[in-house]
Chains A and B, each alone.
Chain A
Amino acid sequence: MNLAQIIQELHLTVLTEPQDFAAVEPSSGYTSDLLSCVMSGAAKHSVWVTLQAHSNIVAVAALLELTAIIITEGAMPDPATIAKANQEGITLLATTDPSFHVIGRLWDLGLRAG
Protein backbone atom coordinates (compact mmCIF):
# COMPACT_ATOMS: atom_id res chain seq x y z
CA MET A 1 0.00 0.00 0.00
CA ASN A 2 1.36 3.38 -0.92
CA LEU A 3 1.03 6.82 0.65
CA ALA A 4 -1.34 8.09 -2.05
CA GLN A 5 -3.84 5.35 -1.13
CA ILE A 6 -3.52 6.16 2.57
CA ILE A 7 -4.12 9.87 1.92
CA GLN A 8 -7.16 9.08 -0.22
CA GLU A 9 -8.71 6.39 2.01
CA LEU A 10 -8.30 8.40 5.21
CA HIS A 11 -9.21 11.75 3.62
CA LEU A 12 -6.01 13.28 4.91
CA THR A 13 -5.07 16.88 4.29
CA VAL A 14 -1.59 17.23 2.80
CA LEU A 15 0.15 20.10 4.61
CA THR A 16 3.51 19.92 2.88
CA GLU A 17 4.36 20.20 -0.81
CA PRO A 18 2.77 17.43 -2.91
CA GLN A 19 5.06 14.66 -4.08
CA ASP A 20 4.64 11.45 -6.02
CA PHE A 21 2.93 9.79 -3.07
CA ALA A 22 2.00 6.71 -5.14
CA ALA A 23 5.71 5.90 -5.30
CA VAL A 24 6.11 5.98 -1.50
CA GLU A 25 5.56 2.67 0.31
CA PRO A 26 5.64 3.00 4.10
CA SER A 27 7.36 0.13 5.90
CA SER A 28 5.04 0.10 8.93
CA GLY A 29 3.11 2.25 11.37
CA TYR A 30 3.95 3.71 14.77
CA THR A 31 2.12 5.84 17.30
CA SER A 32 3.10 7.86 20.37
CA ASP A 33 2.76 11.47 21.46
CA LEU A 34 5.95 11.38 23.49
CA LEU A 35 8.86 12.23 21.22
CA SER A 36 11.34 10.45 23.44
CA CYS A 37 9.36 7.23 22.81
CA VAL A 38 9.25 7.83 19.08
CA MET A 39 13.00 8.39 18.98
CA SER A 40 13.59 4.95 20.42
CA GLY A 41 10.63 3.10 18.92
CA ALA A 42 9.66 4.15 15.40
CA ALA A 43 10.99 2.09 12.49
CA LYS A 44 12.71 3.61 9.47
CA HIS A 45 10.31 4.61 6.68
CA SER A 46 7.28 4.15 8.92
CA VAL A 47 4.20 6.36 9.18
CA TRP A 48 3.91 8.06 12.58
CA VAL A 49 0.49 8.88 13.99
CA THR A 50 0.43 11.59 16.68
CA LEU A 51 -1.59 14.53 17.96
CA GLN A 52 1.63 16.37 18.76
CA ALA A 53 2.09 19.26 16.29
CA HIS A 54 5.14 20.90 17.86
CA SER A 55 8.00 21.66 15.44
CA ASN A 56 10.23 19.06 17.13
CA ILE A 57 8.21 16.33 15.35
CA VAL A 58 9.92 17.29 12.09
CA ALA A 59 13.40 16.91 13.51
CA VAL A 60 12.50 13.54 15.01
CA ALA A 61 11.00 12.32 11.72
CA ALA A 62 14.05 13.51 9.79
CA LEU A 63 16.40 11.86 12.27
CA LEU A 64 14.61 8.51 11.98
CA GLU A 65 13.91 8.83 8.23
CA LEU A 66 10.18 8.42 8.70
CA THR A 67 7.95 8.48 5.63
CA ALA A 68 5.18 10.73 6.92
CA ILE A 69 3.55 12.10 10.05
CA ILE A 70 -0.23 11.94 10.38
CA ILE A 71 -1.27 14.68 12.81
CA THR A 72 -4.62 13.82 14.39
CA GLU A 73 -7.42 15.39 16.43
CA GLY A 74 -7.33 18.61 14.39
CA ALA A 75 -3.96 19.64 15.84
CA MET A 76 -2.24 21.98 13.44
CA PRO A 77 1.50 22.68 13.10
CA ASP A 78 2.44 26.33 12.61
CA PRO A 79 3.69 27.59 9.21
CA ALA A 80 7.34 27.50 10.35
CA THR A 81 6.98 23.81 11.17
CA ILE A 82 5.46 23.08 7.77
CA ALA A 83 8.28 25.03 6.09
CA LYS A 84 10.84 23.04 8.06
CA ALA A 85 9.15 19.79 7.01
CA ASN A 86 9.35 20.84 3.35
CA GLN A 87 13.03 21.60 3.84
CA GLU A 88 13.66 18.20 5.43
CA GLY A 89 11.51 16.31 2.93
CA ILE A 90 9.07 15.10 5.58
CA THR A 91 5.43 14.74 4.55
CA LEU A 92 2.95 16.19 7.05
CA LEU A 93 -0.65 14.98 6.84
CA ALA A 94 -3.54 16.18 8.98
CA THR A 95 -6.95 14.98 10.03
CA THR A 96 -9.58 15.89 12.58
CA ASP A 97 -10.10 12.18 13.33
CA PRO A 98 -8.73 10.80 16.61
CA SER A 99 -5.54 8.70 16.56
CA PHE A 100 -7.44 5.48 17.38
CA HIS A 101 -9.60 5.88 14.29
CA VAL A 102 -6.62 6.63 12.06
CA ILE A 103 -4.65 3.64 13.33
CA GLY A 104 -7.66 1.35 12.87
CA ARG A 105 -8.05 2.47 9.28
CA LEU A 106 -4.33 2.02 8.59
CA TRP A 107 -4.49 -1.50 10.00
CA ASP A 108 -7.54 -2.23 7.79
CA LEU A 109 -5.49 -1.11 4.82
CA GLY A 110 -2.81 -3.64 5.70
CA LEU A 111 -0.25 -1.48 7.50
CA ARG A 112 1.34 -3.24 10.48
CA ALA A 113 3.61 -2.36 13.39
CA GLY A 114 7.32 -2.31 12.58
Chain B
Amino acid sequence: MIPPLIVREALDLGIQLIAVTDHNATANIQAVMKAAQDTELIVLPGMELQTREEVHLLCLFDTLDQTFAFQTIVDAHLPNIPNNPDFFGEQFVVDETGDFIRSEERLLLSSADLSFEQAWAQVDQLGGILIPAHVNRKSFGLLEILGFVPVEVPVDALEISRHITPQKARETFPQIAAYPLIQNGDVHGLDGFLGTSHYTLAAPTIAEIRKAVQNLEGRSVRIAPIP
Protein backbone atom coordinates (compact mmCIF):
# COMPACT_ATOMS: atom_id res chain seq x y z
CA MET B 1 0.00 0.00 0.00
CA ILE B 2 1.66 3.18 -1.08
CA PRO B 3 0.77 6.41 0.74
CA PRO B 4 -0.98 8.37 -2.09
CA LEU B 5 -3.24 5.38 -2.79
CA ILE B 6 -4.11 5.00 0.89
CA VAL B 7 -5.13 8.67 0.98
CA ARG B 8 -7.10 8.49 -2.26
CA GLU B 9 -8.95 5.31 -1.29
CA ALA B 10 -9.91 6.70 2.12
CA LEU B 11 -11.17 9.95 0.58
CA ASP B 12 -13.07 8.10 -2.16
CA LEU B 13 -14.93 6.21 0.56
CA GLY B 14 -15.80 9.43 2.38
CA ILE B 15 -13.51 8.63 5.30
CA GLN B 16 -12.29 11.76 7.08
CA LEU B 17 -9.89 10.31 9.64
CA ILE B 18 -7.49 7.38 9.55
CA ALA B 19 -4.74 6.22 11.87
CA VAL B 20 -1.57 4.56 10.64
CA THR B 21 -0.81 1.74 13.07
CA ASP B 22 1.74 -0.71 11.76
CA HIS B 23 2.74 -3.78 13.71
CA ASN B 24 5.34 -2.69 16.31
CA ALA B 25 6.44 -0.02 13.81
CA THR B 26 5.99 3.65 13.03
CA ALA B 27 8.46 4.30 10.19
CA ASN B 28 5.81 4.80 7.47
CA ILE B 29 3.50 7.19 9.29
CA GLN B 30 5.20 10.39 8.14
CA ALA B 31 4.92 9.34 4.50
CA VAL B 32 1.15 8.90 4.80
CA MET B 33 0.82 12.19 6.71
CA LYS B 34 2.75 14.01 4.00
CA ALA B 35 0.71 12.36 1.25
CA ALA B 36 -2.44 13.61 3.00
CA GLN B 37 -1.09 17.10 3.64
CA ASP B 38 -3.06 19.05 1.02
CA THR B 39 -6.16 16.94 1.31
CA GLU B 40 -9.13 16.78 3.67
CA LEU B 41 -7.91 13.54 5.22
CA ILE B 42 -6.69 13.62 8.82
CA VAL B 43 -4.00 11.10 9.72
CA LEU B 44 -3.34 10.16 13.33
CA PRO B 45 -0.07 8.45 14.25
CA GLY B 46 0.03 5.22 16.19
CA MET B 47 1.10 1.61 16.42
CA GLU B 48 -0.41 -1.84 16.73
CA LEU B 49 1.67 -3.21 19.56
CA GLN B 50 2.00 -6.94 20.18
CA THR B 51 2.52 -7.47 23.90
CA ARG B 52 4.34 -10.20 25.79
CA GLU B 53 1.01 -12.03 26.14
CA GLU B 54 0.59 -11.85 22.32
CA VAL B 55 -2.28 -9.41 22.59
CA HIS B 56 -2.64 -6.71 19.93
CA LEU B 57 -3.14 -3.18 21.24
CA LEU B 58 -3.99 -0.13 19.21
CA CYS B 59 -1.87 2.75 20.54
CA LEU B 60 -2.88 6.18 19.23
CA PHE B 61 -1.18 9.53 19.75
CA ASP B 62 -1.62 13.18 18.81
CA THR B 63 1.91 13.82 17.60
CA LEU B 64 4.77 12.06 15.86
CA ASP B 65 7.06 12.99 18.75
CA GLN B 66 4.89 11.02 21.17
CA THR B 67 4.70 8.14 18.71
CA PHE B 68 8.44 8.00 18.14
CA ALA B 69 9.05 8.19 21.91
CA PHE B 70 6.80 5.15 22.22
CA GLN B 71 8.70 3.43 19.38
CA THR B 72 11.94 3.91 21.31
CA ILE B 73 10.41 2.12 24.29
CA VAL B 74 9.06 -0.68 22.10
CA ASP B 75 12.41 -1.06 20.29
CA ALA B 76 14.14 -1.62 23.61
CA HIS B 77 11.73 -4.51 24.26
CA LEU B 78 11.74 -6.20 20.85
CA PRO B 79 13.90 -9.27 20.29
CA ASN B 80 16.70 -8.72 17.81
CA ILE B 81 15.62 -11.27 15.21
CA PRO B 82 16.44 -10.39 11.59
CA ASN B 83 13.55 -10.50 9.13
CA ASN B 84 13.55 -13.29 6.54
CA PRO B 85 11.69 -11.75 3.58
CA ASP B 86 11.19 -15.20 1.99
CA PHE B 87 8.96 -16.22 4.88
CA PHE B 88 7.58 -12.99 6.23
CA GLY B 89 7.69 -10.61 3.26
CA GLU B 90 9.55 -7.36 2.88
CA GLN B 91 9.37 -4.60 5.48
CA PHE B 92 9.77 -1.49 3.34
CA VAL B 93 9.95 2.08 4.53
CA VAL B 94 8.75 4.44 1.79
CA ASP B 95 8.39 8.17 1.20
CA GLU B 96 5.18 10.09 0.55
CA THR B 97 5.16 9.08 -3.12
CA GLY B 98 5.70 5.44 -2.29
CA ASP B 99 9.37 5.41 -3.29
CA PHE B 100 11.64 3.01 -1.44
CA ILE B 101 13.75 4.53 1.35
CA ARG B 102 15.03 1.47 3.18
CA SER B 103 14.16 -2.00 4.42
CA GLU B 104 13.51 -2.58 8.10
CA GLU B 105 15.99 -5.35 8.96
CA ARG B 106 14.56 -6.37 12.29
CA LEU B 107 11.59 -8.75 12.32
CA LEU B 108 8.56 -6.69 13.33
CA LEU B 109 6.05 -9.46 13.81
CA SER B 110 7.41 -10.69 17.13
CA SER B 111 6.11 -9.71 20.56
CA ALA B 112 7.54 -6.82 22.53
CA ASP B 113 8.57 -7.86 26.02
CA LEU B 114 6.03 -5.50 27.57
CA SER B 115 3.01 -6.71 29.49
CA PHE B 116 -0.48 -5.38 28.82
CA GLU B 117 -0.17 -3.27 31.98
CA GLN B 118 3.28 -1.93 31.11
CA ALA B 119 2.12 -1.00 27.61
CA TRP B 120 -0.90 0.81 29.02
CA ALA B 121 1.25 2.74 31.50
CA GLN B 122 3.70 3.83 28.79
CA VAL B 123 0.99 4.95 26.36
CA ASP B 124 -0.88 6.76 29.12
CA GLN B 125 2.24 8.52 30.33
CA LEU B 126 2.96 9.75 26.80
CA GLY B 127 -0.58 11.10 26.51
CA GLY B 128 -1.90 8.52 24.08
CA ILE B 129 -4.89 6.22 24.15
CA LEU B 130 -4.68 2.43 24.21
CA ILE B 131 -7.48 0.39 22.68
CA PRO B 132 -7.21 -3.42 22.62
CA ALA B 133 -7.49 -4.38 18.94
CA HIS B 134 -9.92 -6.85 17.31
CA VAL B 135 -10.75 -8.27 20.74
CA ASN B 136 -13.14 -10.82 19.25
CA ARG B 137 -10.50 -12.46 17.04
CA LYS B 138 -8.95 -15.86 17.83
CA SER B 139 -5.50 -14.63 16.79
CA PHE B 140 -3.98 -11.94 18.98
CA GLY B 141 -7.39 -10.90 20.36
CA LEU B 142 -7.49 -9.91 24.02
CA LEU B 143 -10.52 -12.03 24.91
CA GLU B 144 -9.12 -15.23 23.41
CA ILE B 145 -5.73 -14.84 25.04
CA LEU B 146 -6.47 -13.21 28.42
CA GLY B 147 -10.11 -14.25 28.71
CA PHE B 148 -11.34 -10.83 29.85
CA VAL B 149 -10.15 -7.23 30.10
CA PRO B 150 -7.62 -6.95 32.95
CA VAL B 151 -9.55 -5.18 35.69
CA GLU B 152 -6.64 -3.15 37.03
CA VAL B 153 -6.30 -1.17 33.80
CA PRO B 154 -8.82 1.61 33.06
CA VAL B 155 -9.29 0.71 29.40
CA ASP B 156 -11.27 3.41 27.54
CA ALA B 157 -12.67 1.27 24.75
CA LEU B 158 -12.32 -1.99 22.85
CA GLU B 159 -12.05 -2.46 19.11
CA ILE B 160 -14.02 -5.16 17.34
CA SER B 161 -13.11 -6.51 13.92
CA ARG B 162 -15.17 -6.35 10.73
CA HIS B 163 -16.25 -9.96 11.28
CA ILE B 164 -18.71 -9.17 14.03
CA THR B 165 -21.40 -6.62 14.84
CA PRO B 166 -21.37 -4.74 18.16
CA GLN B 167 -24.60 -6.53 19.12
CA LYS B 168 -23.13 -9.95 18.35
CA ALA B 169 -19.89 -9.06 20.17
CA ARG B 170 -21.77 -8.11 23.32
CA GLU B 171 -23.88 -11.27 23.09
CA THR B 172 -20.85 -13.53 22.56
CA PHE B 173 -18.65 -11.86 25.16
CA PRO B 174 -20.72 -10.79 28.18
CA GLN B 175 -17.44 -9.79 29.89
CA ILE B 176 -17.21 -6.68 27.66
CA ALA B 177 -20.60 -5.26 28.71
CA ALA B 178 -19.06 -2.27 30.52
CA TYR B 179 -16.75 -1.20 27.68
CA PRO B 180 -17.46 1.19 24.80
CA LEU B 181 -16.78 -0.37 21.39
CA ILE B 182 -15.30 0.95 18.18
CA GLN B 183 -14.86 -0.91 14.91
CA ASN B 184 -11.92 -0.50 12.56
CA GLY B 185 -10.98 -1.92 9.21
CA ASP B 186 -7.57 -3.22 10.36
CA VAL B 187 -6.65 -2.29 6.80
CA HIS B 188 -3.91 -4.47 5.31
CA GLY B 189 -4.75 -3.78 1.65
CA LEU B 190 -6.47 -1.04 -0.30
CA ASP B 191 -9.74 -3.01 -0.37
CA GLY B 192 -9.81 -3.18 3.44
CA PHE B 193 -11.19 0.22 4.38
CA LEU B 194 -14.31 0.03 6.52
CA GLY B 195 -15.34 3.47 7.80
CA THR B 196 -18.11 2.22 10.06
CA SER B 197 -17.08 4.08 13.23
CA HIS B 198 -18.70 7.52 13.05
CA TYR B 199 -17.29 9.98 15.57
CA THR B 200 -18.69 13.32 16.66
CA LEU B 201 -15.62 15.29 17.73
CA ALA B 202 -14.75 18.96 18.20
CA ALA B 203 -11.27 18.22 16.87
CA PRO B 204 -9.35 15.13 15.73
CA THR B 205 -7.45 14.64 18.99
CA ILE B 206 -6.88 11.83 21.45
CA ALA B 207 -8.66 13.82 24.18
CA GLU B 208 -11.71 14.19 21.93
CA ILE B 209 -11.69 10.50 20.97
CA ARG B 210 -11.57 9.62 24.67
CA LYS B 211 -14.57 11.87 25.31
CA ALA B 212 -16.38 10.34 22.33
CA VAL B 213 -16.02 6.74 23.48
CA GLN B 214 -17.17 7.81 26.94
CA ASN B 215 -20.07 9.74 25.44
CA LEU B 216 -19.10 12.96 27.23
CA GLU B 217 -19.94 16.61 26.45
CA GLY B 218 -21.84 15.81 23.29
CA ARG B 219 -19.02 13.78 21.76
CA SER B 220 -19.96 10.33 20.63
CA VAL B 221 -19.11 7.33 18.51
CA ARG B 222 -21.59 5.18 16.66
CA ILE B 223 -20.86 2.00 14.74
CA ALA B 224 -22.81 1.91 11.50
CA PRO B 225 -23.66 -1.38 9.78
CA ILE B 226 -21.13 -2.58 7.20
CA PRO B 227 -22.55 -1.66 3.79
Interface residues of chain A, those whose CB is within 8 Å of chain B, are 33-36, 38-39, 52, 54-56, 59-60, 78, 80
Q: Is the interface of B mostly helix, strand, loop or mixed?
A: loop
Is A39 within 8 A of B150, CB to CB?
Answer: no
Rounded to whole angstroms, the CA-CA distance of A80 and B117 in the bound complex is 11
**Do residues B150 and A36 form an inter-chain contact, with CB atoms below 8 A?**
no
Chain B contacts to A: CB under 8 angstroms: 52-53, 115-117, 143-148, 150-152
Q: Can you offer 24 A-B residue contacts whose CB atoms are under 8 A?
A: A33-B145, A34-B144, A34-B145, A35-B145, A35-B147, A35-B148, A36-B144, A36-B145, A38-B147, A39-B147, A52-B145, A54-B53, A54-B115, A54-B116, A54-B150, A55-B117, A56-B146, A56-B148, A59-B147, A59-B148, A59-B151, A60-B147, A78-B117, A80-B152
A56 nearest CB neighbor, chain B only: B146
Given known A52-B53, A54-B53, contact A36–B115 (CB-CB < 8 A): no
Q: How far is the CA of A80 from the CA of B143 in the complex (A)?
A: 21
Contacts of A56 in B (CB 8 A): 146-148, 150
Chain A residue nearest to B152 (CB atoms) is A55
Contacts of B117 in A (CB 8 A): 55, 78
Q: Which of B146, B150, B151 has the most CB of A within 10 A?
A: B146
